[in-house]
Amino acid sequence: MPKLPKPKAPGLIGGLGVTFKTMLKGAVTVQYPHEREDPPTRARGVIALKEENCTVCMLCARQCPDWCIYIEGHKEKRPPRREGGRERTVSLLDRFDIDYALCMYCGICVEVCPFDALFWSPEYEYSESNIADLLHDKEKLGEWMETVPEPEPLEVGAETGKK
Amino acid sequence: MTELALDVGWGTILAIKTVVVLAIIPLGAIILGYTFLLKMMAHMQSRLGPMDPGGFHGWFQLFGDGIKFIQKEDVMPAKSDRRIFAIAPAVVVISTFLVFLVLPTGPDLVVSDLDVGVFYALAVSSLSVVGVLMAGWASANKFALLGALRAAAQLIAYELPLLLAVVGVVVMAGTMSLQGIVEQQQNGAIFGWDGIGNPFVFAQIIGFVLFLVAAQAELTQTPFDMPVAESELVAGYMVEYTGFRFLFFFIGEFGTAFAFAALAATLFLGGWAIPFVTDPGWSNVLGPIVLITKIMLVAFLMFWVRFTYPRLREDQLQAVAWKFLIPIGLANILITGALKVAF
Amino acid sequence: MSVDFAVDRQAWRHLADAQVNVELDTGDMILNLGPQHPATHGTLRLVVRLDGERVVSADPVIGYMHRGYEKLTEFRTYPQVTTLINRIDWLSSFANEVPFMHGAELLMGIEAPPRAQYIRTILTELSRIATFMLFLGEMGLQVGALTPPFYGFRDREHVLNLIEAATGGRFHPNFNRIGGLKDDLPWGWVNECRNTMKVVFDACNILEELVAENEIFGARTRSIGIIPPEVGTGYGVSGSNLRASGVDWDLRRDGKPYLVYPELDFKVWTHPDGDSYARYWVRLQETREAARMVVQMLDRIPTGPIMAKVPRIIKVPEGEVWVETENPLGQMAYYVISKGATGPFRVKIRSASFSNVSILPWLLRGVYVPDVITILGSLYFILGDIDR
């Protein structure tokens, strides 16, 4: 039987070996929607609104680079805390819409809110078939509060409690 | 099974065989396409390939693609030569069909066992060049024409290594008939040991590699797919083809791959022959299964190379054919002839 | 005011002349590698004049992706500008924020604390790894191999998961703030990062074996698109493209010190050839080097605060500053003019790919048509970087 000549193209043979090994190793595909991957805790999926914390200060709407937050509120009078005191006014939210067609998912609104009314949630399955349906109102934003995860602990060496 | 219970004339048998061959071409194309193009390519790329169509690992994908192509609108460029534009895909498929006519799948399962089987098969498989040129010319598109000219140059250049690789086998077998070659491999012996017959792949390893490389180029597969991957720039000779005609080209491409793999299996690996089964009754039943296994093996090698390597530039491609493969083929023939006379 | 340079006002005619179905004449043929094209990394239009198989002249037409960043930044505050400039070079977005924030901090005269500097450097090198992984894969695709891009994307996922775990966004981290970073790292990130770097080393070895050592790849890329060092520096080519021509210039080592690069021990890779293969090889080595730097830094992250003491409403004092950094694509620089407001007055963005692409008319003369694709792939520009 004639002797096989030494391959003069070892790179070519090596390349074949790589693809063969990968074929045997199995696929890395996650078959969505049958299987799902969990995004990390901090993943910026959707913004949730905790309505009771909001004081209609409009900081988020002002700081949004896209101006995609639409806020309307009104003031109401509340009885004074003590007898003979001045009447208090509270701001109540009428309308808090975020237009997710414009939202850049930058997180500036969540960051600047002084009253912790906005939170990030890793929820990502809220696609719509009509682009106008991406304008979500405060009821929907409030529903997403349930998906907001607990803040995770920070890495070794971080100073907690400081910003 | 020459004694069938039914007494049918040769015309009916010929008709049955023709229909079977006509059915095998798209079926073979689909099997090769699904296993290698969809599934093997996917796993080599760490992904899964189609999983949903048909439920079980997406077996229905290519059938669905076929149905999709059939129901598309038949569009022809305004300035094209209508008749040639329509005929060109058919020419390619017809040349594949003609190759299948001499491929044996069992001792009696061959449409026509010509005495010049190998010569005929190679001659007829080069008819597809005419189909490619017709497609490029009739498209009335300058880039399609250039793609077709490049493809024609490549296909013609690689006919020679294909032929030279096969001549070594013919010298060893002493006959050009494909059934005869299979018989020689089944009954032969390797230096006296006849356990597995004498598949020519051992003695003709150079010829085998040469045949595979030349077949890769004949099918315009990577690393020789510059005519088709003109889709980097514009598109190849198939640019103006949509719908049913494009389906024909696709079936032609994979059907030809099936045919070349079958030729390689027959010429080098022993075809339908199993070493220790000589009873013609059993061979007729097991032969097709054995041949299909060997075809899948050869096709695995061809597609493995296709998905791994980048493509050669047109001038490098021609240089490989003329300066490298043809001298090796000629040397192979010389050595084979000398050894055949000596032993 | 009069202009004193000659303007060829008829130049647009030959560009607009790019038809496809012209009569078959033996003169020059114009091929339009149009804005939609699988090989041009985005909306680059290349009007190529062919003589048979060879290119006679090539004119890149850019601007299809111009988003007006420099104008947009005039009306936004500094954190809002960060969200915009993330999207200039979207494959290595964190690296785009760094020079801008550094410039703003220089104008304010504050320095980010050491822990923030280390984490910034780690994330920059991670984005360098991410974008080069993509390059190593898609360069194979430009020359025709179908599998390398899948390996590039697959192994890049690990790095993107790391970035997402720390910042919340895979592609657009938006993590830099004036004075430091937005948040500290989550628990367990450092160990995840170490494991991911092992994956990166393996991936580099795999891609090297599959692509770089392939003889066909060598035949397609060696001696193709040679950029001589003088021509390269003359056109403003920077980054790995220039280092592949033998010029030993890296802003992390040779420019003004920024982030923690002065404290790190890393090697700058050069290659004498200057062809497409050299550019591939240099980026392959730089990926490995970046992974080594990340491992070095992971062992040395200091403890401490993540943000310096900055006022709540940040008004950057008046001044101008020019900051240039070694981005994965090349040298990126920002010229920030501030007039004391909450946002910049004017930001000029010097992007690396704009200058890298300017060499194309010179480089593409006389090459074959398939080599045009190879050269485009090896220069590795991002359209967002060219057009901003």
CA distance B144 to chain A (A): 32
**Minimal CA–CA distance to B99: which of B218, B222, B247, B183?**
B218
pLDDT at C141 over 80: yes
Q: Which residue has the tokens 């896209």?
A: A66
The shortest CB-CB distance from C168 to any of A15, A120, A162 is to: A120
Mean local confidence (pLDDT), B174-199? 77
Q: Are C81 and C69 in contact (CB under 8 A)?
A: no
Mean of pLDDT values over B108-124: 85
Contact indicator for A55, A140 with CB cutoff of 8 Å: no
Are the beta carbons of B142 and C39 separated by less than 8 Å? no
Q: Once rounded to an integer, what is the mean pLDDT over residues B53-62?
A: 83
Q: What is the pLDDT, as a whole number, of residue B232? A: 59
pLDDT for C182 beyond 60: yes
Q: Is the peptide bond before A79 cis (omega within 30 degrees of 0)?
A: no
- pLDDT, residue C37, reads 74
Half-sphere exposure of B103 (CA within 13 A, CB side): 32
Amino acid C19: pLDDT: 43
- Residues B187, B283 contacting (CB under 8 angstroms): no
The alpha carbon of residue A12 is apart from the nearest alpha carbon of chain C, in Å, by: 5
Task: Supply φ then ψ for residue C31, to 5 degrees.
Answer: -110, 130
**C-alpha dihedral (C216, C218, C220, C221), degrees to nearest 10:** 160
Q: Round the average pLDDT of chain A to a whole number and report it.
A: 83
Contact call for residues C186 and A153 (beta carbons, < 8 A): yes
Task: Give the pLDDT of residue C3.
Answer: 38
pLDDT beyond 50 at C15: no
Residue C286 has what pLDDT?
93
Average of per-residue pLDDT across C78-97: 88
Secondary structure class of A122 (helix, strand, coil)? coil
Q: Where are the domains of chain B?
A: 75-342
- Between the alpha carbon of residue B311 and those of residues B149, B239, C8, C170, C370, the distances in Å are 18, 20, 40, 33, 10
- One-letter amino acid of B147: G
Alpha-helix runs per DSSP H in B115-242: 117-125, 128-138, 142-173, 178-187, 200-203, 205-218
pLDDT at B240: 82
The whole-number average pLDDT for the span C154-161 is 90
Using only C-alpha atoms, chain B has a radius of gyration, in whole angstroms, of: 21
Quick one: pLDDT at residue C46?
A: 86
Where b means 16+ CB within 10 Å and e means fewer, B120-137 reads: bbbebbbebbebbbbbbb
Query: Which of B237, B242, B247, B248 has the alpha carbon at shortest distance from B141?
Result: B237
Query: Residue B214: which pLDDT band, with cuts at 50, 70 and 90?
Result: very high
Whether residue B218 lies within 8 A of chain C, CB to CB, comes out as no
Dist. CA A77–CA B336, nearest whole Å: 106
Question: C69-358 falls under which CATH superfamily?
Answer: Cytochrome-c3 Hydrogenase, chain B (1.10.645.10)
Q: What distance lies between CA C160 and its chain's CA centroid?
A: 17
Output DSSP code: residue A156: T
- Res A161: pLDDT: 52
Given this model, what pLDDT does residue C337 score? 92
**What residues of B are in contact with residue A35 (Cβ under 8 Å)?**
none
Helix (H, G, I), strand (E, B) or coil at C61: strand
Taking the C-alpha atoms of residue C168 and residue C180, their distance in angstroms, rounded to an integer, is 17
Q: Which of B143, B118, B133 is nearest to B271 (CA)?
A: B118
Taking the C-alpha atoms of residue C210 and residue C229, their distance in angstroms, rounded to an integer, is 29
Q: Rg of the Cα trace of chain A?
A: 27
Residue C33: φ, ψ to 5°? -75, 85
The values of phi and psi at residue C264, to 5°, are -95, 160
Given this model, what pLDDT does residue C200 score? 93
Percent of chain C with pLDDT over 90: 23
Neighbours of C46 (CB within 10 A): 25
Chain A contact for B324, CB < 8 A? no
> Nearest C-alpha of chain A: how many angstroms from B87?
39
- pLDDT tens digits for range B129-174: 898 888 888 887 777 887 888 888 888 999 999 999 898 888 888 8
Q: What's at B129, amino acid-wise?
A: V
Placement of tokens 């200039």 in the chain: C88
* Amino acid (one-letter) located at A87: E
Q: What is the chain B residue with the closest CA to A11?
A: B309
| Residue C293 CB burial class (10 angstroms; 0-12, 13-18, ≥19) | buried
pLDDT given at position B282: 76
Closest CA to A96 of A83, A111, A113: A113
Cα C249 vs. chain centroid, distance in angstroms? 16
Quote the pLDDT of residue B151: 86
Residue C25 has pLDDT above 60, yes or no: no
Q: Cα dihedral angle (B261, B265, B267, B272), rounded to 10 degrees?
A: -130
CA dihedral B161, B164, B165, B169 (to 10 degrees): 170
Contact B142 C38 (CB under 8 A): no
Supply the DSSP symbol for A132.
Answer: G
pLDDT at C1 over 80: no
B contacts of C147 (beta carbons < 8 Å):
44-45, 307-308
B 105-164 near C (Cβ less than 8 A): 140-143, 145
**What residue has token string 């485009």?**
C376
CB-based contact C80 A108, cutoff 8 Å: yes
- C177: phi then psi, degrees, rounded to nearest 5: -135, 160
How far apart are alpha carbons A55 and A59 in whole angstroms? 10
Enter the tokens of residue A78.
């509340």
Contact state of B46 with A20 under an 8 Å Cβ cutoff:
no
- In the three-class reduction of DSSP (H, G, I as helix; E, B as strand; rest coil), residue B91 is classed as helix
pLDDT at C53 over 80: no
What average pLDDT score do residues A19-29 get? 84
CA atoms within 13 A on the CB side of B257: 30
Q: Do the bridges between strand C176-177 and strand C45-51 make them parallel or antiparallel, or are there none, so unpaired?
A: unpaired
Q: Both tokens of residue A130?
A: 């009509």
Mean pLDDT of B261-289: 81
Contact C210 B223 (CB under 8 A): no
Q: Enumerate the domain spans of chain C.
A: 69-358
- Give the pLDDT mean for B170-184: 85
Cα separations (Å) of A59 from A25, A100, B327, C307?
52, 18, 79, 22
By Cβ distance, the residue of C174, C302, C306 closest to A106 is C174
DSSP 8-class letter at A83: T
pLDDT-derived band at B260, boundaries 50, 70, 90: very high
User: How many residues are listed for chain B in this entry?
Assistant: 343
Chain A contacts in chain C segment 212-231 (CB below 8 A): 213-216, 218
Cβ of C190: how many Cβ atoms within 10 Å? 16
**C135, burial (CB in 10 Å: exposed 0-12, middle 13-18, buried 19+):** buried
Q: Which chains touch A (3 or more CB pairs under 8 A)?
A: B, C
How does strand A88-99 pair with strand A135-136?
antiparallel
Is residue B181 within 8 Å of residue B169, measured between CB atoms?
yes
- Dist. CA B246–CA B118, nearest whole Å: 29
| Top-confidence residue, A162 or B93 | B93
CB pairs under 8 A between A and C: 109
Structure tokens belonging to residue C154: 């697959």
- Residues of A within 8 A of B43 (CB-CB) are 22-23, 26-27
The rounded distance, in Å, linking the Cα atoms of A31 and B42 is 14
Edge-to-edge strand list for the sheet holding C346-350: C319-327, C330-338, C346-350
Q: Domains along chain A?
A: 46-147 (3.30.70.3270)
Q: Give yes or no for a contact between C161 and C362, defined as CB atoms under 8 angstroms apart.
A: no
**Which of B43, C277, C355 shows the shortest CA–CA distance to A22?**
B43
State residue A160's pLDDT score. Answer: 60
Q: Are C45 and C60 in contact (CB under 8 A)?
A: yes
Residue C35 has pLDDT above 90, yes or no: no
| pLDDT of C17 | 43
> Both tokens of residue C360?
């194309």
Say if residue C280's pLDDT is above 90. Answer: yes
pLDDT (tens digit per residue) in C128-137: 999 999 999 8
Confidence of residue C16 (pLDDT cuts 50, 70, 90): very low
Which chain A residues touch C169 with a CB distance below 8 Å? 43-44, 105
User: Over the stretch C210-222, which tens digit does the pLDDT of each residue have?
Assistant: 888 888 888 888 8
Q: What is the pLDDT of residue C133?
A: 92
Tell whether C195 lies on the interface with A, counting CB pairs under 8 A: no
Strands C330-338 and C319-327, sheet pairing: antiparallel
Average pLDDT over residues B20-35: 86
Q: Where does the pLDDT of residue B6 fall: very low under 50, low under 70, confident under 90, or very high at 90 and above?
A: low
The verdict on a CB contact (< 8 Å) between C186 and A17 is no
Please give the pLDDT value at position A162: 46
Q: Which pLDDT value is given to residue C195?
A: 93
From first CA to last CA, the distance across chain C in angstroms is: 29
C-beta of residue A22 within 8 angstroms of C-beta of residue B44: yes
pLDDT at C376 exceeding the cut of 60: yes
- Position C196 scores a pLDDT of 92
Report the percent of chain C where pLDDT is more than 70.
92
CA–CA dist A152, C181 (Å, integer): 17
pLDDT exceeds cutoff 80 at B189: no
pLDDT of residue B194: 66
Contact B85, B76 (CB under 8 A): yes
Tens of pLDDT, residues B278-317 = 777 777 788 888 888 899 999 999 998 888 888 888 888 8
pTM of the model: 0.86
Min Cα distance A67 → chain C (Å) is 11
In angstroms, rounded to a whole number, what is the distance separating the alpha carbons of residues C274 and B63? 49
> How far is it, in rounded angstroms, from Cα B323 to Cα C353?
41
For B222-239, what is the mean pLDDT? 71
SS3 of B265, please?
Answer: helix
Instruction: Supply B61's token pair.
Output: 């994908």
- Predicted confidence (pLDDT) per residue in C237-273, tens digit: 988 999 999 888 888 888 888 888 988 888 999 998 8
Which whole number is the average pLDDT over A97-122? 90
Cis peptide before B50 (omega within 30 of 0): no
Q: What is the mean pLDDT of chain C?
A: 85
pLDDT score of C40? 65
Return d(Cα A42, Cα C286) in angstroms, integer.
30
In this structure, of A9-13, A134-138, C85-89, the range with the lowest mean pLDDT score is A9-13
